[in-house]
């Protein structure tokens, strides 16, 4: 069965051009970039090129790019570094809707005696800026707020938030794992100090990430040992994946306008067709500024997991929340933080598109969804009540 893959916020297909770029660096050009000989030097040259390509996508300088193993490592390293840089500051700010890569670390910090403020969001998933402004003080070591939410696609006003943190002398980190490659990012005109990327969200392989650290920002490494990455991240580089990420960033820059026109148009068409065809549905974060590829939609009187199973039988891949929390029937922490009613949070499905999504695939999902929801509502006691009321 050929899949219709609408789960690109969980992971993406490796672009074939990206794969071709990395292929020689396993069996042929396998040298260690730190080696003195020509064989390592060839690889070193490609790592330099990759660093330049990543920097170009971010409007950054190459020396501000540190390669890591994943988005999670970048998030952990950024927050941990800020606390080491400011040992006298004991306050950390984040939001209630962060990815667990940030939220779990912050909650662990509160167990270690740090004061942790988790800023709330409104019903559309927008950051409560008044609460945030009131929380930042001169005891704040670091603020970590995501650029865009993985479940709803809602975009936070990161630049404004970074300026507020800067005014109090706190470092500002953003988890931009879902934003990079989908919306323009320009570190050259920004108050953001640190930013995380994950390769597998933008058509590079899994297991490669980046931590951007602004020039002049004090930084303490998470992994110590060898002198790789100018001693900021020890460990022999994952050269093939670094080279792949460089290519993926180059392609992302070229595809950015496609993402914001064609991909957005397909997402909008999916959204309006489902809203029209299926009663008692609601867009999570529908009134907020959102990523062009993401649609989180709640169907009352059904369970998201059941929808996903029936979709999966038809070859359609979607998600009921973040990949990391699916498998549990608890409504997602993001939808709970938004105050989405329990009956809606349970019936939420996330469709996340990519530049590989086609109009024909959207048509198919638009056709398949109404009978699936109808069938599930017939099966659920609440749904039957609803259907009875309808006639
Ligand atoms: N941050 C966000 C917003 C994510 O969506 C993810 C992955 O789902 C991560 C961090 C973690 O990235 P990685 O899988 O590379 O560790």
357-374 pLDDT, tens digit each? 999 999 999 999 999 999
Instruction: Supply the pLDDT for residue 327.
Output: 54
Q: Which ligand 1 atom minimizes the distance to the CA of 70?
A: 15
Q: Is 91 in the pocket of ligand 1 (CB under 6 A)?
A: no
Q: Is 70 in the pocket of ligand 1 (CB under 6 A)?
A: yes
Q: Work out the average pLDDT over 20-24.
A: 98
Q: Is 246 in the pocket of ligand 1 (CB under 6 A)?
A: no
Q: Which ligand 1 atom minimizes the distance to the CA of 75?
A: 10
Q: Is 146 in the pocket of ligand 1 (CB under 6 A)?
A: yes
Instruction: Supply the pLDDT for residue 342.
Output: 83
Q: Work out the average pLDDT over 248-262.
A: 97
DSSP code string of 44-102: HHHHHHHHHHHHHHHT--GGGEEEES-HHHHHHHHHHHHHHH-TT--EEEEETT--HHH
The span from the CA of 58 to the CA of 74, in Å, is 16
Coil, helix or strand at residue 180: strand
**Cα distances (Å, whole numbers) of residue 367 to 208, 264, 267, 314, 315:** 37, 20, 15, 12, 13
Q: Is 202 in the pocket of ligand 1 (CB under 6 A)?
A: no
Q: Which residues of 7-24 are buried (b: 16+ CB within 10 A; e: fewer)?
A: bbbbbbebbeebbebbee
Q: Where in the chain is the domain with CATH 3.90.1150.10?
A: 4-10+255-390
Q: End-to-end distance of the chain based on CA atoms, in angstroms?
A: 38
Q: Is 150 in the pocket of ligand 1 (CB under 6 A)?
A: yes
Q: Residue 134 in contact with residue 119, Cβ under 8 Å?
A: no
Question: Tens of pLDDT along 145-186?
Answer: 999 999 999 999 999 999 999 999 999 999 999 999 999 999
The span from the CA of 22 to the CA of 370, in Å, is 42
Q: Is 81 in the pocket of ligand 1 (CB under 6 A)?
A: no
Q: Which ligand 1 atom minimizes the distance to the CA of 101?
A: 10
Instruction: Supply the pLDDT for residue 95.
Output: 98
Q: Is 99 in the pocket of ligand 1 (CB under 6 A)?
A: yes
Question: Residue 373 C-alpha to ligand 1 middle, in angstroms?
Answer: 30
Nearest CA to ligand 1 atom 12: 71
Q: What's the fold here for domain 4-10+255-390?
A: 3.90.1150
Question: Residue 325 C-alpha to ligand 1 middle, in angstroms?
Answer: 12
Q: Is 182 in the pocket of ligand 1 (CB under 6 A)?
A: no
Determine the residue of 9, 12, 69, 72 to mutate for testing ligand 1's pocket, defined as the one with the most ligand atoms within 8 A of the Cβ atom: 72
In terms of Cα–Cα distance, which of 261, 253, 263, 256 is closest to 58?
A: 253
φ, ψ of residue 348 to 5 degrees: the values are -95, 140
φ, ψ of residue 67 to 5 degrees: the values are -80, 135
Instruction: Supply the pLDDT for residue 346.
Output: 87
Coil, helix or strand at residue 349: strand
User: DSSP class of residue 350?
Assistant: E
Q: Work out the average pLDDT over 14-19.
A: 98
Pairing of strands 91-95, 194-198: unpaired
Q: Which ligand 1 atom minimizes the distance to the CA of 322?
A: 8
Q: Where in the chain is the domain with CATH 3.40.640.10?
A: 16-252
What is the average pLDDT value for the chain, to the nearest integer?
95
| Sign of the dihedral defined by the CA atoms of residues 141, 145, 147, 151, in that order | positive
Beta bridge partners of 283: 297
Map tokens 């749904």 to a residue. 383
Rg of the chain over all Cα atoms, to the nearest angstrom = 22
Catalytic residue among 106, 249, 324, 344: 324
Q: Is the pLDDT confidence value at 209 over 80?
A: yes
What architecture does CATH give domain 16-252? 3-Layer(aba) Sandwich (3.40)
SS3 readout for 100-162: HHHHHHHHHHHHCCCEEEEECECCCCCECHHHHHHHCCCCEEEEECCCECCCCCEECCHHHHH
| 68 or 1: which leads in pLDDT | 68
The span from the CA of 199 to the CA of 208, in Å, is 5
Determine the residue of 74, 201, 222, 334 to mutate for testing ligand 1's pocket, defined as the one with the most ligand atoms within 8 A of the Cβ atom: 201
In terms of Cα–Cα distance, which of 323, 329, 281, 324 is closest to 305?
A: 329
- Check if 344 is active-site: no
Q: Is the pLDDT confidence value at 137 over 80?
A: yes
Q: Is the pLDDT confidence value at 312 over 80?
A: yes
Q: Which ligand 1 atom minimizes the distance to the CA of 209?
A: 15
Determine the residue of 69, 98, 154, 198 to mutate for testing ligand 1's pocket, defined as the one with the most ligand atoms within 8 A of the Cβ atom: 198
Q: Residue 116 in contact with residue 139, Cβ under 8 Å?
A: no
Give percent of the chain with pLDDT exceeding 90: 92
Question: Tens of pLDDT along 72-115?
Answer: 999 999 999 999 999 999 999 999 999 999 999 999 999 999 99
């Amino acid at each position: 069965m050929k899949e219709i893959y609408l789960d690109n916020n969980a992971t993406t297909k490796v672009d074939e051009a990206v794969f071709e770029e990395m292929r020689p660096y396993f069996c042929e050009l396998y040298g260690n970039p730190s080696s003195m000989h020509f064989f390592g030097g060839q690889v070193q040259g490609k790592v330099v090129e990759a660093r330049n390509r990543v920097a170009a996508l971010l409007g950054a300088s190459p020396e501000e790019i540190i390669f890591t193993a994943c988005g999670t490592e970048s998030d952990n390293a950024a927050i941990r570094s800020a606390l080491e840089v400011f040992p006298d500051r004991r306050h950390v700010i984040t939001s209630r809707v962060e990815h667990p890569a940030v939220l779990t670390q912050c909650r662990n910090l509160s167990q270690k005696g740090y004061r942790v403020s988790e800023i709330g969001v409104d019903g559309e998933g927008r950051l409560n800026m008044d609460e945030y402004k009131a929380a930042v003080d001169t005891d704040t070591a670091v603020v970590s707020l995501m650029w865009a939410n993985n479940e709803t696609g809602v975009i936070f006003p990161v630049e404004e938030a970074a300026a507020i943190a800067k005014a109090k002398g706190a470092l500002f980190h953003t988890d931009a794992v879902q934003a990079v490659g989908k919306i323009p990012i320009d570190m050259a005109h920004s108050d953001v100090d640190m930013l995380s990327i994950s390769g597998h969200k933008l058509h590079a392989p899994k297991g490669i990430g980046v931590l951007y650290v602004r020039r002049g920002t004090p930084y303490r490494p998470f992994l110590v040992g060898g002198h790789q990455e100018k001693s900021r991240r020890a460990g022999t580089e994952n050269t093939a994946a670094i080279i792949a990420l460089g290519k993926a960033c180059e392609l992302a820059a070229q595809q950015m306008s496609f993402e914001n026109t064609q991909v957005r148009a397909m997402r909008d068409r999916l959204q309006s067709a489902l809203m029209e065809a299926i009663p008692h549905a609601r867009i999570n974060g529908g009134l907020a500024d959102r990523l062009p590829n993401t649609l989180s939609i709640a169907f009352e009187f059904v369970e998201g997991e059941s929808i996903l199973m029936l979709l999966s039988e038809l070859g359609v891949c979607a998600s009921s929340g973040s990949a990391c929390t699916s498998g549990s029937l608890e409504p997602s922490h993001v939808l709970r933080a938004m105050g989405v009613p329990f009956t809606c949070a349970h019936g939420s499905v996330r469709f996340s598109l990519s530049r590989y999504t086609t109009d024909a695939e959207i048509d198919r999902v638009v056709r398949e969804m109404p009978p699936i929801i109808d069938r599930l509502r017939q099966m659920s006691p609440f749904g039957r009540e609803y259907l009875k009321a309808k006639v």
